[in-house]
Structure formats: C-alpha cells, structure tokens
C-alpha cells in the first residue's frame, strides 16, 4: 500500500525569466532554453581542453588578454575541426556532427614534422605516411609544405 505521509507530497516546477511576457509565450521560452546543454559543452571544452580553468594572473587586463586569445584560438580550432576533420580526407572512426577541440589538436596540431630552411624558403616536412597530412595540406593549398 505504500507509506502514508503526515503532510501531502507536493512537487512544483517553475520557470523564471526576464523576457517580456507579451513578446514570448511559455512555449517560446522553453524553445529558447533548448540549446542550453550544447552551450555548456562548448564552455566545458573552452575551459578543460584549452586549459583555461584557472586564469594566470590577479590583474584584470592580463586575464582579459588571455581570454581574448583563448577565444580566438578556440574559434580557429573549431573552424579547422568543422572544415577538415569531417571531410573525406581522414578515415572516419564514427559518424559525428563535430569534433572536440582536444581531438582537433591531437589530429592536426600535434603533428611531427621537421622545420627546415632550403634556399630562402622555410619548409615544413612531414612523414610520408601520415594519415592526417592530406587534411593538414588543405589548410594551406597554395603553399608546398612537404
């Protein structure tokens, strides 16, 4: 039969927002908060994958510069991940909509290469059998990298 409570058990679910009631209905507000989880995931990637959990200084201007450079780097890595790691050049491990920043860094940035000077040009030499080389070559199509 279950346990009887001395007082009834109530549950209350509520939403508080500062949006104008005339402009947004209840259903519209719920739709606006639908993308909250992906934004939290991007925030987590920015902090953990780029190692920006703790800011380096007690000075606001220094931390502001670090955050601005971190945002620029994050956007560049996201562009690289969307443009090249989802393309046909790399073997797909499994079908995904996007790659995490850590995966982009491991696949494209952490490449072993030799930085050489030949004549008056600097050359970046990769190994012959690097599977990510074709994707990296698409970053600089007008340059000869290897």
Determine the Cα angle at 126 with ends 95 and 91, to 5°: 15
Q: Which residue, 44, 38, 35, is CA-closest to 101?
A: 44
The per-residue pLDDT for range 53-89, each reduced to its tens digit, is: 898 999 999 999 999 999 999 999 888 888 776 666 6
% residues pLDDT > 70 (the chain) = 79
Average pLDDT over residues 11-30: 80
Task: Give the whole-angstrom CA distance, residue 132 versus residue 130.
Answer: 6
Q: pTM of the entire structure?
A: 0.62
Q: Which residues contact 15 (CB under 8 A, 6 or more apart)?
A: 26, 29, 30
């Amino acid at each position: 039969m279950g346990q009887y409570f001395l007082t009834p058990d109530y549950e209350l679910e509520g939403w508080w927002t500062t949006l104008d009631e005339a402009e947004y209905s209840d259903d519209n507000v719920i739709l606006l908060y639908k993308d909250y989880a992906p934004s939290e995931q991007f925030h987590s990637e920015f902090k953990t994958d780029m190692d920006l959990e703790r800011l380096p200084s007690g000075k606001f201007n220094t931390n502001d510069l670090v955050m601005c450079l971190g945002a620029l780097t994050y956007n560049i890595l996201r562009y690289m991940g969307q443009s090249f790691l989802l393309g046909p050049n790399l073997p797909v491990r499994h079908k995904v909509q996007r790659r995490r920043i850590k995966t982009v860094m491991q696949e494209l940035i952490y490449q072993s290469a030799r930085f050489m000077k030949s004549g008056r040009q600097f050359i970046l030499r990769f190994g012959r059998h690097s599977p990510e080389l074709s994707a990296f070559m698409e970053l600089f199509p007008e340059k000869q990298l290897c």
